[in-house]
Structure 1
Amino acid sequence: MPQNDLIMRPITGREELTLFNRLPYVLNDELAEDFDLGRRRPEWMWVALRGDRLVARLAWWTRRADEPPFMLDMFDLDDDLPGSERRDLGARLLGTAMAAVVPEGARPAEYSRFIPPTWRDDDATRRAVEDRMAVLEGFGARLLVERLRLEWRPGTPIPEPSGRLRFRPVADREELVELMTLVLDGTLDAHSHADLAQMTPAQAARAQYDDELARYKSPREWWRIATTHDGDPVGFVIPARNSYNPIIAYIGVLPAYRGNGHIGDLLAEGTRILAAQDVPRIRASTDVGNVPMARAFQRAGYVNFQREINMTWS
């Protein structure tokens, strides 16, 4: 393949979003708003062009306009090209863009890819997913986890309260961080395991609260702690809104109370709180390997509408 027929560059501005969107992906419809709010920047959105043909693209995303890239969440190749050719193009674009965006010696942002729930059953889809992963692996990324993306839709029945637990609002940051620290014991969540490899449970809980939960602008009055009838904490659920959807942000059951079905009570409570806001949907995610959580969502009527691949660098 000729090596001098490819132009690789960041887009010039919002006027080139149409060019950037020539390759299909589920996030295309969100790009304009993200761009206007500063969650996307031209210098983080790269294209590879062969003449007028867009053959590869990638983009980083951040949670706030004044912060560095948080996620490499778009990496698309022209799947009409032969496999070896598209992988080569992807590698050339990724290497060029990372050299420009990622500071030398810094750890690159995590990679995220939304994929169909049955992606392994279709050869073309499977090859597309695996090609992108192979390119990233060539630059040192490794699979962290595959996750289920779940959705509750209006009209789906919500289980009535079982009466086994009582619910009250979270008192303050310190109370929730203490409970978050406790539920990390025996966690099945891959991101939490990665955090615990680098910090103590208390440090991991504080970081998750400050970096994620504290950023939600939805009312903290929605957050609930579940207790026994004697007032002892059993777990918690965090219903919230992120920048795109109402979500179940976090559910935790304390180790001493696991195995008793309390996760279903917590999920139902969080779903009721959000459903009462007349929302069009409720989103949630859990690791494929977190079987108890996945089963709880299924029992609660949540539909697995996508999966997600997460890859990280050491």
Structure 2
Amino acid sequence: MTELVFRALSDESEFPLFDRVTTLPTSGVGERSRTFADLAADGDYRPAWVWIALRGDEVVARASFWGPPDAEHPSALDFFDFDTVETGTALLEAAYAALVTPDYHAPIGDRPEYNLFLPADWRERPDAKADADARVEAAERAGLIFHVERLTLRWEREYGLPPRSTRLTFSPVTDDQVLLDLLADIVTGSLDAWDRRELRTRTPQDVAAEALAMVADMPGGRDRWRLGHDSSGELVGMVMPTRNSRSATIGYIGVDHRHRGHGYAYDLLAEAMHIFAEEGEPFINDNTDVGNAPMAAVFDRIGYRVTGRRMLFS
């Protein structure tokens, strides 16, 4: 049998090779809202971060890594397809060994995080479950560790706007220290998997500072960020509406742990949705952990719809 060759693409002229992979799932597992070719044309990928496995002239596996335009290292793996689990595992091992150098650094984690995109009903469909299970097995054989499954959520204007809160008042964020102190209170007892993981080794203040920096670095700016106050004027929560490279999104939302149980997350999210609607945004894309049932319930009650799921490994 012809020996397998694992390598990165040499330059942009080789991007078409990526779509010549011989085995692609038809179940929707791994699908993105845009094709690799479209994303590559927009400059989302660098040839040195796009890997293929070749058996002769046949592309039998592929893996594409992504990072922000000014990043030195990739921070995420998003397309990952193969003919067999063994081939996929070997491709990931080769790619991670080459890309995770001693000086590797990224906004989150010590190596690129694998995003496994899934249909919303993947567990109920045998074809989708088989395709997902194969990717999970290949990732774990290559040394990646599962962290969380997340719901992919979307709101569109045609779904209707919720009423604006009558029990909270909102003010812009003008003092980062006030926001940092609130964020530190919010992450305490958080059900968010990333917050909980970081709190194992870091203080709430450090986790809050990183969350603030991450949202501040997004292209949406900070003019929409709001603090929520109850009828007595006490600060109870915050919401950080922003934009990523594709759409409007909620960068962070949270209620001080001392004020949970009153449904304030609904009020905060409704305010953000009105801000976006006033700007003419046609839709908002968001996500939340499957394990964060209270927040998932808020998204559902306010009118978001589940469009898919995503597993994260690193």
Same fold, judged at TM 0.5 (above): yes
Selected match of 1:92 from 69, 87, 90: 90
Selected match of 2:195 from 186, 189, 192: 192
The CA deviation at 1:27 is: 3.6
Q: Which string of whole-angstrom CA distances, capped at 9 and with x for unpartnered residues, describes residues 159-206 of structure 1?
A: 212311001111132221111110011100011111111210000111
Selected match of 1:247 from 249, 257, 270: 249
RMSD: 2.0
The CA deviation at 1:124 is: 1.6
d(CA) in 1 for partners of 2:55, 2:67 = 29
SS of the residue aligned with 1:308? strand
Tell me the equivalent position of 1:44: 49
Question: Is the contact between residue 120 and residue 126 of structure 1 (CA under 8 Å) also seen in structure 2?
Answer: yes
Question: Is the contact between residue 37 and residue 65 of structure 1 (CA under 8 Å) also seen in structure 2?
Answer: no
Identity %: 36
The CA deviation at 1:10 is: 1.1
Tell me the equivalent position of 2:166: 163
Q: Which string of whole-angstrom CA distances, capped at 9 and with x for unpartnered residues, describes residues 138-172 of structure 1?
A: 12222100000100012112121231100111113
d(CA) in 2 for partners of 1:271, 1:130 = 36
The CA deviation at 1:35 is: 4.3
The CA deviation at 1:230 is: 2.8
d(CA) in 1 for partners of 2:101, 2:180 = 32
d(CA) in 1 for partners of 2:264, 2:204 = 23
1:56 aligns with 2:61: yes
The CA deviation at 1:5 is: 3.2
Question: Is the contact between residue 165 and residue 270 of structure 2 (CA under 8 Å) also seen in structure 1?
Answer: no
SS of the residue aligned with 2:303? coil
Tell me the equivalent position of 2:234: 232
1:222 aligns with 2:224: yes
Question: Is the contact between residue 14 and residue 32 of structure 1 (CA under 8 Å) also seen in structure 2?
Answer: no
Question: What amino acid maps onto 2:99 in structure 1?
Answer: V
TM-score by length of 1: 0.90
d(CA) in 1 for partners of 2:13, 2:36 = 12
The CA deviation at 1:39 is: 4.3
Selected match of 1:132 from 122, 132, 135: 135
d(CA) in 1 for partners of 2:49, 2:87 = 18
- CA spacing shift, 1:301–1:22, aligned 2, 3 Å: farther
Tell me the equivalent position of 2:27: none
Question: What amino acid maps onto 1:310 in structure 2?
Answer: L
d(CA) in 1 for partners of 2:31, 2:298 = 26
d(CA) in 1 for partners of 2:167, 2:236 = 11
1:173 aligns with 2:171: no
1:69 aligns with 2:74: yes
Question: Is the contact between residue 21 and residue 28 of structure 1 (CA under 8 Å) also seen in structure 2?
Answer: no
SS of the residue aligned with 1:141? coil
Tell me the equivalent position of 1:103: 101
Tell me the equivalent position of 1:5: 3
d(CA) in 2 for partners of 1:36, 1:87 = 29
Question: Is the contact between residue 218 and residue 241 of structure 1 (CA under 8 Å) also seen in structure 2?
Answer: yes
The CA deviation at 1:283 is: 0.6
SS of the residue aligned with 1:132? helix
Selected match of 1:16 from 5, 14, 17: 14
The runs of 5 or more residues in structure 1 that have no matched partner are 79-85
Q: Which string of whole-angstrom CA distances, capped at 9 and with x for unpartnered residues, describes residues 186-236 of structure 1?
A: 1000111111112100001111211x1111222412111100133211101
Selected match of 1:26 from 28, 31, 40: 31
**How many residues align structurally?**
302
